[in-house]
Amino acid sequence: MTTGNEEQAFIAKAKSILDRSADTLEGRERARLQAARRTALAQAAAPRFVAPLWVLGAAAGLAVVGVAALWTWQHSAPPPMAATVEDAELLFAADNVELYQHLEFYRWLAAKERSG
């Protein structure tokens, strides 16, 4: 006999012994065993856990948002260097000493222009 045939013979013999012992059970015990069998079969057929579907959807959505945020952050335009250099030249020029002497006036003037 091969291993597969030995297993089949063992299963058939075990099934025969269990069937004979089930035939000798009283009605009450048999009803309890049938109820337990139905419960076990119902639990095996019921879906175990449905949450992975929405968890996977949420994870995919967060991944898309994260990638979009990183892409936007990396591709944002840096401030133009010409304006930055020009501003630095104006601030550090020797002839702008007058600007610092009247700084409060220029702040007041800028606030007045912003307000209307």
- The yes-or-no verdict on residue 1 having pLDDT over 60 is no
- The yes-or-no verdict on residue 16 having pLDDT over 80 is yes
Q: Token pair 């945020």 is at which residue?
A: 69
pLDDT digits (tens, 9 = 90+) for 54-63: 788 899 999 9
pLDDT, mean over the chain: 79
- The yes-or-no verdict on residue 97 having pLDDT over 70 is no
pLDDT tier for residue 3 given thresholds of 50, 70 and 90 = confident
pLDDT digits (tens, 9 = 90+) for 28-71: 888 888 898 888 888 877 666 666 777 888 999 999 999 998 88
- 86: tokens are 């020009």
Q: Token pair 């996977």 is at which residue?
A: 56
